[in-house]
Structure 1
Amino acid sequence: MTKRLLVIMTALCLLLSCFPLAASAAAGDSVEIKLTIGSPTVTINGTASKIQPPVKENGTTLVPLSIITKAFGAKLKLEKNKIITLTYNSTIVVLTIGSNDVKVNGTVTKLSTAPKIVNSVTLVPVRVIAQAFGATVVPSGNLITITGKVAGEAAATNSGGLSGIDTDAGKTKVGDSYYGWSMNYPTDLSLSYQSDNGNWSVWSDGSGDPSVIVSVSDVEETLTKQELRDHIQTYFDDNELVMEKKTISVGGVSYEKMVTKSRDGWFFEYRGTQKDSRIYTVMSGAKAATRDALNKYQDLLDSFALSFNKSDRTLKDVTKVVDGLITIHDEDYGLEVKLPVQWLRDTESPTPLFFNADEGLIDFAIKSVQNNETAGQWRAAERAKLEKEFASDYIRNFEESTITLKNGQAQVLKYEFSWNKTKWITEYDVFLIAGDHKYHISFYSLKEDGSKGKGLFDTIVNSLVIDTKYVDGNFSEMDDEDLAGQVIKKSSKKYGYSIELPATWTAEDKDFEQDSVFYYTDYGYFQLTVADNVTASSYVNWYKDYVSADKDMKALDAKVTQSTTTMINGNLITRVDTVLNEAAKPYSDSMYLFEKNNRLYIVQFTAPQAYDTVAYQALNTQVLQSLTFN
């Protein structure tokens, strides 16, 4: 089982320790809690449950946090695995595990005993929290009685939308209505993690390690038995030993079953089956001395079914898909957006970026407002850049409009661009100014049917909600330095040259004392290479043979279109032009060869043909003319 699963959401499991509520409490209902220091029994409105025993330290009684959140309907948020924020109506209580500071509606006071974790359960001072919620705490020896009312908007969930599975009175099964599966209610586990679209769900015990996992994968063909086993093995770590591998039948469904052991002491059981175009994999894991530790999950795994009965009121639906859409939150950017279920989040991107390989992509950027700029002025400037960047026959059909979003009115620039004049991509750029910042949303539609692309754009963008107060409070100036027109002079002592490059270019290999440097330009790529004791004519001959014979160049349909000589700054140079007519994105490549001091200097510019504009050629000429030799 992949190592990332073994560390998912540990703190959530610590917070959401398991005990059942007697019944679903409504907002405003009275709550009476009776518990005893040192006793594992608590009664809530007369119904007894088992808990981690409360303790008394330095005169302060510490009780399981879950009693507070579940009985009073307090909302829970966890940050940095230790900062706990409880919200009860208009009251906000902030505690930190291991800290004696408590903040109630912004006012900080000191606790005699800090919140702590005992046997994987978070214990908190009961009196300060209960009194903040307007409840009364009455001690009688070791017996403590707490009375109060359920919050006006009762919720036993954390900010990520996950909850202890045991909070749902009357529920005996869980499942996902979109993916069509169900299983028995894991009463001793908590739903600790779900992927954005819910195709990966993790239930954990109090230790924070994954105990049971359900994964759903889409496939286009029917898998053989061996292919299904190969699929299961994609979940393995490199150090897992296969201890059992066979076909089993449970409830009339055939599964491929594999049991493994990792070198670090974990046992795992995997069961995989296919129904129509989906593979369902159910997994359990336990760190133990023997595989017998997996036995406690057998009944749960045996109950897994490839169905979801929407009329079954005992079945809890954990789906994240509503009307074919998923809701994604990016708290770092104060962003909420609804996307089709097949879309994915780019977790490697530093800014919010979501995509579907067949449908398109949407990204999101923040900058600060400058000089009382309007959204209309911003849009006009961006259009001018595009018209300069693209060759005229690679961009078309500009349309300007206004759209009303949940955060205000925005300007929209729609246009089509192409890399090959055959397949056209529709882009919608949305320009919103709200508060101290401006927001650029770019939507790229790959749908050939323009109306479907427009419908997808409307669905996604109209769902967009930005917490502009959060952005203004946490982001300051976000404008990049205007480097347009600026150049940076680079020199090489070893190879005896200097050259001026645009400051907007990004270096990949930038050590000019090496024989090659490489930059990403505004349009494509730039490379400067130095070779000793090589002539321009011999290099050109070698290059032509390479282009005509190399299989990779053939795959790109590469052709040398011209080889000429000319003078630049008094230096005789050879220019070789090549086109790479690869169907999806044709490129043009120009090499300039300088012979100097028994060395050959090769300056190379490569860019998509869509960017081969007058401005691009002028910039290349400017760089070439800046090249001087010692």
Structure 2
Amino acid sequence: MKKTAIFVALLLLVQTVCSFAAETPGELQNDIERIEIAFQIGSDILKINGNDTQVETAPYVVGEGVTMVPIRVITEAFGAVVEWNEEEQSITITYEGVEMRLVVGSIEATINGRTLTMLSPPEVYNDRTMVPLRFISENFGADVSYDGETDSVLVVKESFGDEDLDNYNSILKKTDKERVGDSYYGWSMRIPKELRLTERSFDGSATYFTSDYVVLGIEILAVEDNEGEFSLDKLFIAMKEAASTAPNTFISQNKGTQGQNTYCEVSYRDSQYQYDQRAYYIDNKIFYLWAIRDLQGGNSDISVLEEAKQSFEIGYAYPDDTEDLSNVRDGMRPFKDENMNISTEIPADWMMLTGSPENRMGFIQVDGKFYGRYYIDIFSKEAGETATSWANEDLEHYEYLYNSKFVNFSGPNSISIDGKSGVETKIVLKPKEKGFTLTTRFIYLMSDNYKCRLTLTYDNLLKETSADYAKVNQMITEFVFNGPDASVGTLQEPPSEFENDTIVDTVKLSGGKYQMKVPTMWAKDSSGGVDVFTDGIYAVRVMPFEDVPNITVLRNAYVQVMNDQIPESEYSGSSPRKLTIPKTTISDLFYTFPLNDGSYSWINSYVYIIKTSYGDYFVIECQVLDVYDGQRAEDLFTSIVTSFEKI
């Protein structure tokens, strides 16, 4: 492994440390939706979600301690929809996927088709329909508590905007088990009952618990270290340096052992928060346990954090006494997006990307066994559009983009996914460097109003006969797409980047005597008297020269410099792309040379040595990765170079 990988890993750790301040207790708490009902038995004033609400009939107790409240309390607090059937004397209450049917005078209730028995039935009292508070609230996912000294009732439901988190929190509140953990990554600790599970990454590598004043995080970071250059000591140094950076006040550092595992830890604070961090390094993974405590909370939850730290263990040694947060089954994680109405299975060692639009989901392979990327894109379907027409449009795009010498195209071919017909195309990139290929599969599916494209990319390290590929392929074979509900609205497909190629700026070159037209979206740099224009794939460099006797001398000097600086470059003499610029004489060259960054890429360099009719000399280099040296590259470079002119 290259030493740079070590530095990158340490840098990522430091960046992660520095990012914690953005995930403060208050900010994470703001993400929680809270429903609360508070009242005293016999009082007609109830506090519902912070507002005093007067009801016509005060709550009362019947039978075996069952609290009855007006059904209005349920509708106002939860936002539930209630339907009354006069003939049947029945009440249907609908809330977040729960449909509950009650009948006045009956202790039987039906919830999503399942019959349950209540302690007391709904009843009509003072012309008001009264319902059992605890039964309804708990089936809506809320907690109900009673204080006998004050004869008061408190109903609380906290929602995290994530069905899995809500389910986990419900389980952790009610479980008889003492520990919580993740069997896939192999860690566990005592359940911090005073905290809530407020965030968990899709791949399970990050788990966060919070209270009003505390955030407790468990993160697992993979490190690529085939040569054993990474160590806990290097990690400790990085943590101490980050903790000592202004405006932090360094508190303590320690290195110790817990069970069979060695850890390092640091503590520091700023003006508002204290930060405590502990890290283990085992089997090329960093297990990172950290906490942020709001100093305004005093000593709140210090004992909770200390217990979590002391009970944290690596190895998942108590499976029967641990609530397992992992949803990995047979090496796969379920993925579902209800808004886009899709679902599939994702390999457990793939991570979900963040920061994308709602209609684009991305996943990457993270353990370094092979290069892997998977994207799901969903757009509105255009009138008359089919999976085949969409696939052909994309193929034309890539045929224009790529160098046909290094690319094989296939398809579109028919495919069936979840019983639905679609088409598949495939692109295989084979760069000049032998032994490396990059394969991309595109799957196109249609619903009534929407269309979906699956994009799976992998390199030759993933063998299509391997067990790993069988799991990767499940992302496609297990994919379910029924199309979003029409209420989602229009999901516009982004315009092709090619549309920006003809939108140009006229740029004055260094020296102020000449100019060129360059795509507006390209980055422009004129430092050091050399003008460089690039979009990250294509680059044009314009270099002026003085005191040149003739164009042949400049050409020979350029060739000599290339041979000296890049001895592995391959010189092919004149450029295969001849260009003409008014009022100039041009001598052209063509080079190709390896990028030498481990990416197997080669650079194609088209060089134009120019003498203008005004006696000025320039060298214009047009460079592009060889696999991208297709028709688009030729069109771009021709447009830019031939726009060169005297102001």
TM-score scaled by length of structure 2:
0.68
- The one of 324, 336, 341 aligned to 2:331: 324
Q: How far apart are the structure 1 equivalents of 2:437 and 2:476?
A: 21
Report if aligned partners of 1:174, 1:316 keep a CA contact under 8 Å in 2: yes
Structure 1 position 460, deviation (Å): 0.9
- Flag the 1:471–1:539 CA change in 2: closer, same or farther, 3 A: farther
Q: How far apart are the structure 2 equivalents of 1:179 and 1:420?
A: 39
Report if aligned partners of 2:362, 2:375 keep a CA contact under 8 Å in 1: yes
Report if aligned partners of 1:232, 1:281 keep a CA contact under 8 Å in 2: no
Task: Write out aligned runs for 1:182-331 (5 A).
Answer: 182-207=188-213, 209-210=214-215, 212-219=216-223, 220=225, 221=228, 226-230=233-237, 232-233=239-240, 236=243, 238-239=245-246, 240-250=248-258, 252-288=259-295, 294-308=302-316, 312=320, 314-328=321-335
- The one of 484, 495, 507 aligned to 1:469: 484
Where in structure 2 are there 5+ consecutive unaligned residues?
A: 1-16, 60-66, 69-76, 83-91, 100-120, 143-156
The one-letter amino acid paired with 1:459 is Q
Report if aligned partners of 1:228, 1:273 keep a CA contact under 8 Å in 2: no
Q: Secondary structure at the match of 2:349?
A: coil
- Flag the 1:16–1:600 CA change in 2: closer, same or farther, 3 A: farther
- Flag the 1:228–1:509 CA change in 2: closer, same or farther, 3 A: closer
Task: Write out aligned runs for 1:597-608 (5 A).
Answer: 597=614, 599-608=616-625
Structure 1 position 329, deviation (Å): 5.3
- Flag the 1:295–1:16 CA change in 2: closer, same or farther, 3 A: farther
Report if aligned partners of 2:508, 2:516 keep a CA contact under 8 Å in 1: no
Q: How far apart are the structure 1 equivalents of 2:378 and 2:273?
A: 44
Report if aligned partners of 1:491, 1:497 keep a CA contact under 8 Å in 2: no
Query: What corresponds to 2:420 in structure 1?
Result: 408
Deviations 1:329-362 (A, max 9, x none): 5678665443222222333555432212524111
- The one of 549, 569, 573 aligned to 1:562: 573
- Flag the 1:623–1:203 CA change in 2: closer, same or farther, 3 A: closer
Q: Secondary structure at the match of 1:302?
A: helix
Structure 1 position 483, deviation (Å): 5.9
Structure 1 position 145, deviation (Å): 7.1
Deviations 1:562-610 (A, max 9, x none): 3689864452112232211336111111122333345445443212223
Structure 1 position 470, deviation (Å): 4.3
- Flag the 1:254–1:599 CA change in 2: closer, same or farther, 3 A: same
Q: How far apart are the structure 2 equivalents of 1:481 and 1:277?
A: 41
- Flag the 1:206–1:320 CA change in 2: closer, same or farther, 3 A: farther
Deviations 1:109-144 (A, max 9, x none): xxxxxxxxxxxxxxxxxxxxxxxxx978989xxxx9
Structure 1 position 326, deviation (Å): 2.8
Query: What corresponds to 1:377 in structure 2?
Result: 389
Q: Does 1:59 align with 2:59?
A: no
Q: Does 1:478 align with 2:493?
A: yes
Query: What corresponds to 1:175 in structure 2?
Result: 181
Query: What corresponds to 1:146 in structure 2?
Result: 133
Q: How far apart are the structure 2 equivalents of 1:276 and 1:198?
A: 17
Deviations 1:284-310 (A, max 9, x none): 332338889734432332222224357
Q: How far apart are the structure 1 equivalents of 2:242 and 2:122?
A: 48
Report if aligned partners of 2:441, 2:455 keep a CA contact under 8 Å in 1: yes
Q: Secondary structure at the match of 1:518?
A: strand
Structure 1 position 416, deviation (Å): 1.7
Q: How far apart are the structure 1 equivalents of 2:561 and 2:279?
A: 49
Report if aligned partners of 2:268, 2:276 keep a CA contact under 8 Å in 1: no
Query: What corresponds to 1:360 in structure 2?
Result: 372
Structure 1 position 475, deviation (Å): 2.4
Identity %: 15
Structure 1 position 370, deviation (Å): 3.3
Q: Does 1:592 align with 2:608?
A: yes
Report if aligned partners of 2:192, 2:304 keep a CA contact under 8 Å in 1: no
Q: Number of residue pairs matched?
A: 532
Task: Write out aligned runs for 1:460-539 (5 A).
Answer: 460-466=475-481, 468-470=483-485, 473-478=488-493, 480=495, 487-488=502-503, 490-491=505-506, 495=512, 506-509=521-524, 516=531, 518-520=533-535, 524-527=537-540, 529=542, 531=544, 533=546, 535=548, 537=551
- Flag the 1:279–1:618 CA change in 2: closer, same or farther, 3 A: closer
Report if aligned partners of 1:573, 1:595 keep a CA contact under 8 Å in 2: yes
The one-letter amino acid paired with 1:378 is W
Report if aligned partners of 1:487, 1:500 keep a CA contact under 8 Å in 2: no
Structure 1 position 327, deviation (Å): 3.8
- Flag the 1:242–1:482 CA change in 2: closer, same or farther, 3 A: closer
Query: What corresponds to 1:417 in structure 2?
Result: 429
Q: How far apart are the structure 1 equivalents of 2:375 and 2:547?
A: 47
Q: How far apart are the structure 2 equivalents of 1:379 and 1:55?
A: 54
Report if aligned partners of 1:490, 1:498 keep a CA contact under 8 Å in 2: no
Q: How far apart are the structure 1 equivalents of 2:331 and 2:264?
A: 32
Structure 1 position 217, deviation (Å): 3.2
The one-letter amino acid paired with 1:243 is I
Query: What corresponds to 1:450 in structure 2?
Result: 464
TM-score scaled by length of structure 1:
0.69
Structure 1 position 402, deviation (Å): 2.7
The one-letter amino acid paired with 2:569 is A
The one-letter amino acid paired with 2:592 is V
Query: What corresponds to 1:9 in structure 2?
Result: 28
Q: Secondary structure at the match of 2:573?
A: strand
The one-letter amino acid paired with 2:451 is K
Deviations 1:505-536 (A, max 9, x none): 8422299xx97361439xx4142536374647
Q: How far apart are the structure 1 equivalents of 2:51 and 2:427?
A: 67
TM-align CA RMSD = 4.8
Deviations 1:540-575 (A, max 9, x none): 46644543444xx46xx3354436898644521122
Q: Secondary structure at the match of 2:198?
A: strand
Structure 1 position 625, deviation (Å): 4.2
- Flag the 1:470–1:231 CA change in 2: closer, same or farther, 3 A: farther
- Flag the 1:236–1:328 CA change in 2: closer, same or farther, 3 A: farther
